[in-house]
Structure 1
Amino acid sequence: MNLARPEEIFYEYLRRIGHLVDLTAPGGQPVTALHLGAGALTLARYIQGTRPGSVQYAVELERELLDFVLRQLPLPEGTQLQTVIGDARESLTRIDPALRFDVVILDIFSGPDAPEHLACSGFYREVRERLSPAGLLIVNVGDEPGLTLVRSQIGAMRQAMADVAAVAEAGMFEGRYPGNIVLAGTQTPWPLEWTAELTARGPHPARVLAGVDLDPLAR
């Protein structure tokens, strides 16, 4: 992580999420963002670095992890970040109910043993209620060969969102090895220009599946 240049992201899947965030509003315009699963707060730094003045919330189950990150990796000056310790679903009710988010990023799933109360359409519907009219739901899914969790989450998100797309390294969609696929849920039909933009931005080789192209992965 480059603290001096937070817009530079090392991990491939986080870079893809960053590119999705880039599409949510004109460049440099502040957004409201909710991070469900704080990790090292890489994306919170990215949003502050590329969209100064953004209002952000981060929910993390492990207080010790969040305290360590904030102590060892200070946030950029001026970052407006509120932290919430607790379960991602329960914590939605503890955040100002009048607040709507331009982007919600869920980065909790790693393998087929994802928490059932989060890996379901009911939770995604609750998240959609917290989105602004053009708000975007981004879900990182770490999965094993066969992509069982990816398939189930595409189906669950399709029940809650108007449209869903998947973004990843091209070979990931073959389901032969473990890795990350990023799912994006929109409240309107998936913009075709986003497919071209995300493919061009990489990391390469990049592939974006939406609409009927995504159907073979859904279940």
Structure 2
Amino acid sequence: MPALATALLVFLSSAAVLVLEILAARLLAPYVGVTLEVYTAIIGTILAGIAFGSWWGGKWADRRDPRLLIGPFLIAGGALSFVTIPVVDALGTGLRGANALTTVVLTFAAFFAPAAVLTAVTPAVIKLELADLDQTGRVVGRLSAIGTAGAIIGTFVTGFLLVAAVPTRPTIRVVGVLLVAMGVGTAVWLRGGRQAVSTGTLVAVVVAGLFSFAARHPCDYESAYYCARVEVDAERPSGRALWLDTMRHSYVDLDDPTHLEFTYTQWFGDVITAMAPDGEPLRTLHVGGGGFTMPQYLRAVHPGSRSTVLEVDPLLVELAQDELGLELGGDIEARTGDARVTAPTVDADAFDLVVNDAFGGVAVPWHLATRDFLEKMDRAVDHEGVLVTNVIDYGPRDFLRAYLATTGAVFDHVAVLGRPDAFGPRDRRGLGGNYVVIASDAPLPLDAVADVNRNRAQVDELLHGDALRDFVGDAVVLTDDYAPVDQLLTPLPDA
């Protein structure tokens, strides 16, 4: 077999493994979110598949003529690529918000087999090309290097181009089709005209493809960051809920932008009213746009306010305009890109208020939870400016404590709003949910916040002073060098 042909087989099969690895995160996100645990499960599973495939493929190459193996390995790899989609959909529906163990199980069920079978191509090709033991090092080294190059190219092409340009599922199906076609062509070539592919194999491939195309798609829209959909509120026909991956992320009433559906957005409203009780305009920086609920609320309740929104995903800006009533203009500006990159572009002392509501899954992205980032937010607000941050945590609430400690290391005055009895003992299960952290270098209008909250007939708890310090205890301050956000975060009990 020509050296160029063997190199191409190793290059493309290795590239396909890494294409699947990168796309696995997007395929899994609607069911288990996007966290460090998910990426850990994906990387570990693919590495396990590569290790097993290298051993298993080499074992079979010693037992049988590799000419009979390479084509079937590619065909099976293509068929198993098709199957990743229905496997994730079938198992993922019952594992939404899964813990680390079930995330690993789901990832393993979907991606271990295709990674192993496609990796088995390389040792089979090595055995086919190795005609002289004196050339062992050269042959193995060359093909290993070519396989690594394929993996690198597959990673770059998928991460930089495919994810941004093409939806995940069609990409996986195209990979499957190409692998099957390459496998059939290779089998015909290496078997020299004998029956290359059995009828049963073709039937199995067709069935795998049909299952793939029949799988339910949980996304109405898909970007490089999120699987998104917009749902109409059955009880409030003008209400629209924006779902991102596993979370109901935002809510907008098309007829009444003053309506704040979520408790934490109502707390944002309490702070805003306490800061500007007569509807005065506010200069506001929003970290995370989502459904653009708060910019539209400020436009309606505090006319003349100016909102600058830092949103990582251009799709969400378009979706908010198309389906959530957003009209960009002089008073609402959207800047797309990661907030750590776009935040330095805002002027110092330019804002009265920062609304920090950026989330990846149920966690504040770690690089937006550190002292280093909060110092940028402190620079953005004037001396009397206020930062409000939405945080989710449960049980011991170790992440909340760490975020409060971090905020206190930057701002002179800190308080936190939570539901009644949300700040109980660390060993009590079930405590938690959303919290809103309030911070400023100037004294906070806490009495006014509490009054506004009571006027809404709420009995929420506002923690500050010595009680806050006792709650925070010896929690760690998060920095760019040390921010184990996913590990500190306690998920919803029994999730």
TM value normalised by structure 2 = 0.41
Alignment deviations for residues 60-110 of structure 1 (CA, whole Å, 9 cap, x no partner): 111112211111112369771110111112111223x25611110111246
Contact 1:24-1:103 at 8 Å conserved across structures: no
The reply on whether 1:21 has 2:272 as its aligned counterpart is yes
Aligned length: 218
Flag structure 2 segments of 5+ consecutive residues without an equivalent. Answer: 1-251, 476-495
Q: Secondary structure at the match of 1:108?
A: coil
The reply on whether 1:57 has 2:57 as its aligned counterpart is no
- The aligned counterpart of 1:204 is 458
Alpha-carbon distance between aligned partners in 2 of 1:113 and 1:145, rounded to the nearest angstrom: 15
The reply on whether 1:186 has 2:436 as its aligned counterpart is no
Q: Evaluate the alpha carbon distance shift between residue 125 and residue 98 of structure 1 in structure 2; reply closer, same or farther with a 3 A threshold.
A: closer
Deviation of 1:216 (Å): 2.4
Q: Secondary structure at the match of 1:129?
A: helix
Pairing of 1:16-95 with structure 2 (within 5 A): 16-75=267-326, 80-95=331-346
Alignment deviations for residues 133-172 of structure 1 (CA, whole Å, 9 cap, x no partner): 2110001101132211110110000011011000011132
Contact 2:350-2:382 at 8 Å conserved across structures: yes
Give the counterpart of 1:145 among 384, 395, 404.
Answer: 395
Deviation of 1:206 (Å): 0.6
TM value normalised by structure 1 = 0.90
Alpha-carbon distance between aligned partners in 1 of 2:363 and 2:277, rounded to the nearest angstrom: 37
Deviation of 1:112 (Å): 7.7
Alpha-carbon distance between aligned partners in 1 of 2:457 and 2:339, rounded to the nearest angstrom: 29
The reply on whether 1:10 has 2:264 as its aligned counterpart is no
Q: Evaluate the alpha carbon distance shift between residue 99 and residue 200 of structure 1 in structure 2; reply closer, same or farther with a 3 A threshold.
A: same
Which structure carries more relative contact order (alpha carbon 8 Å, separation 6+)?
1
Q: Evaluate the alpha carbon distance shift between residue 145 and residue 30 of structure 1 in structure 2; reply closer, same or farther with a 3 A threshold.
A: same
1:133 maps to amino acid: H
Structure with bigger gyration radius: 2
2:387 maps to amino acid: L
Alpha-carbon distance between aligned partners in 2 of 1:20 and 1:13, rounded to the nearest angstrom: 11
- The aligned counterpart of 1:103 is 353
Deviation of 1:195 (Å): 5.0
Alpha-carbon distance between aligned partners in 1 of 2:307 and 2:362, rounded to the nearest angstrom: 29
Alpha-carbon distance between aligned partners in 2 of 1:32 and 1:60, rounded to the nearest angstrom: 17
Give the counterpart of 1:118 among 368, 372, 384.
Answer: 368
Q: Secondary structure at the match of 2:315?
A: helix
Flag structure 1 segments of 5+ consecutive residues without an equivalent. Answer: none
1:162 maps to amino acid: D
Contact 1:24-1:102 at 8 Å conserved across structures: no
Contact 1:111-1:144 at 8 Å conserved across structures: no
Alignment root-mean-square deviation, CA: 2.2
Of 62-71 and 156-165, more deviation after overlay is shown by 62-71
Contact 1:105-1:139 at 8 Å conserved across structures: yes
Alignment deviations for residues 32-82 of structure 1 (CA, whole Å, 9 cap, x no partner): 111101111111111111111111111111111221111111236977111
Identity %: 27
- The aligned counterpart of 1:131 is 381
Alpha-carbon distance between aligned partners in 1 of 2:381 and 2:258, rounded to the nearest angstrom: 24
Give the counterpart of 1:216 among 428, 448, 470.
Answer: 470
Of 198-207 and 128-137, more deviation after overlay is shown by 198-207
